[in-house]
Amino acid sequence: MMRLRLLVVMVVGLGVSHPALAQSRSLDLNVNDDAVRLLYSSPIQRGPFNGLGMDAGFLRNTEEGNVGNLGVHVAGDAGMRNLPTEVAVGANLFWADPDNLGDEAETLGLGLGLRFDSVFAQYNRLGFGGRAYFSPKVLTFLDGERYSELGFRINYHIIREAHIYAGYRRIRIGFEDRPTQTMESGFHGGLKLRF
């Protein structure tokens, strides 16, 4: 299992440092009493891949364990005139290692889903966003059988390149022979920077 952890760290590191990544990247850090999550996202601008992007992230929950992800998505404007909204649809390769279930609970899978960010047109500093990813049994490997992640947040743009937010997130892993493990469930506060 140590090799799997090393592989995930190397893949995430490669994705973050890849030279094909364009400007307009973002770094998102959020915390609560028990957990911290860091997310990095960037478009990939090379040839016919306009709109293609990647993201990488890591969540550490001191009571439940670790979750890492590396995703690829296609992003664009949702075409809502009165509510400017960017939507990204794609897949997230995730790895989870629950602390309290021993060595027989490590999970790897491919979650399909989307994330979105909206800004109220008449209040250009206030917005909201969310994300939802799900991995069914056929796309979940090692010891887990399912993976789900749901999140929602309300944003306030301090400046164009930075916003603060408050949100709620729930990440769960299902197993065949043991109860579903909640890796994270609760409110958090965060800061997102675009550069």
Domain residue ranges of the chain, discontinuous segments joined by +: 2-194
Stretch 37-58: mean pLDDT, rounded? 86
* pLDDT reported for residue 48: 66
* pLDDT reported for residue 74: 92
Quote the tokens at residue 28: 């998102």
Q: What is the pLDDT of residues 158-189, one digit of tens each?
A: 998 999 999 999 999 998 888 899 999 999 99
Q: How far apart are CA 6 and CA 16, in angstroms?
A: 15
Q: How far apart are CA 173 and CA 139, in angstroms?
A: 13
Q: What is the pLDDT of residues 52-97, one digit of tens each?
A: 999 999 999 999 999 999 999 998 888 887 888 989 999 999 999 9
CATH fold for domain 2-194: Lipocalin (2.40.128)
* pLDDT reported for residue 76: 85
Q: To the nearest 5 percent, what fractions of the chain are helix, strand and coil?
A: 15, 60, 25
